[in-house]
Amino acid sequence: MNDTNRDIVDTLAGLTLFGDLSRPQLEAVAHTFDEQWFSEGQRILRQGFTGTGLYVILEGQASVRIDGVDRATLGKGDFFGDISILLGEPPVADVVALQPLRCLVLGGPDTEPFLNSYPRVIYRMLQSVARRLRNANQWRS
C-alpha cells in the first residue's frame, strides 16, 4: 500500500470516470480527494444516515446491501454515494466492503464545486448512471 501520489494519479488515469482529464488535472483530483481504506465487512455507506460522501473505488470490492440483501457488487473504478449527495437524501442502501477496500472520498459539500470544475467528469458520471438505469429497466422488463 506504499503507493506514491504519482501512483494514485496513474490509477486515476486508468479509471473511466477520470479518463478525459489531463495529467495536471488528475494531480489536482488526487489532492482534492482523501484516501480511505476499509476492512472486510466494514460499512462505508449506512442506509438512512445523512452526511455521506462521494466514493471512488481504487482497489477491492464492495456490496450494495438493502435491508440485509446484497443487490449489486462494485469494483475498481465504480463510484457510490453520488445519488445521496445529488438528491440531498440519506442513502437507501448500505455499502459494505467485501474485501479490503481502498477508496478515494470527497465530502458531500465538496462534490458540487468539484463537478463544476470538471464537466467531463459529470459527463462520465451521467454515462454510468445511464447504464445503471438501462440495466435496471432491462431487469424489470
Partner 1 sequence: MAELNPSQVAASPDASAERPHPPGDYDLVVVGSGPGGLQASYWLSHLGIAHAHLSADPGPGGMFRRFPIFQRLLSWTRPYAPYERATRYYESYDWNSLLAEEPENRSLMPEIMDGISEFPSRPEMERNLTLFAQKTGRAVRYGTRWTATRRDGERFVLETTDGEYRARHVVFAIGAAEPWKPSTPGIEAVPHYADTGPAGEYAGKRVFLVGKMNSGFELAEGLLPWARQIVLCSPRDAKLSVVTRSLVGIRARYLQPYEDHALGGGIYILNAAIERIEKHPDGWRVFTRATLGGADLTLDVDVVIAATGFGSPLGDLGDLGVATFNQGKLPVLTPYWESASVPGLYFAGTISQAMAGLKKHGVPSNSGAVQGARYNARVLAEHIAREHYGWTPPRPEVPATEVVSYLLSEATRGPELWHQRSYLARILSFDEHEGIRDEGILPLAWFVDAPGGDAVAMTIEHTAEGEIRPAVYVRREGKVEEHVMPSDPLLDFESGEHRKQLRSLLSGLPGFHA
The residues of the shown chain that bind partner 1, judged by CB under 8 A, are 1-6, 8, 23-25, 27-28, 30-32, 34-37, 39, 42-43, 46, 48-53, 90, 100, 102, 105-110, 117
Q: Are 64 and 37 in contact (CB under 8 A)?
A: no
Residue 72 C-beta: closest distance to partner 1, Å: 21
| 89: alpha, beta or left? (left if phi > 0; alpha if psi -120 to 50) | beta
Residue 86 C-beta: closest distance to partner 1, Å: 14
Cβ distance to partner 1 smaller for residue 116 or 127: 116
Query: What is the enclosing helix (H) or strand (E) of 90?
Result: none
Cβ distance to partner 1 smaller for residue 28 or 72: 28
Residue 53 C-beta: closest distance to partner 1, Å: 6
CA atoms within 13 A on the CB side of 60: 23
Query: What is the enclosing helix (H) or strand (E) of 3?
Result: none
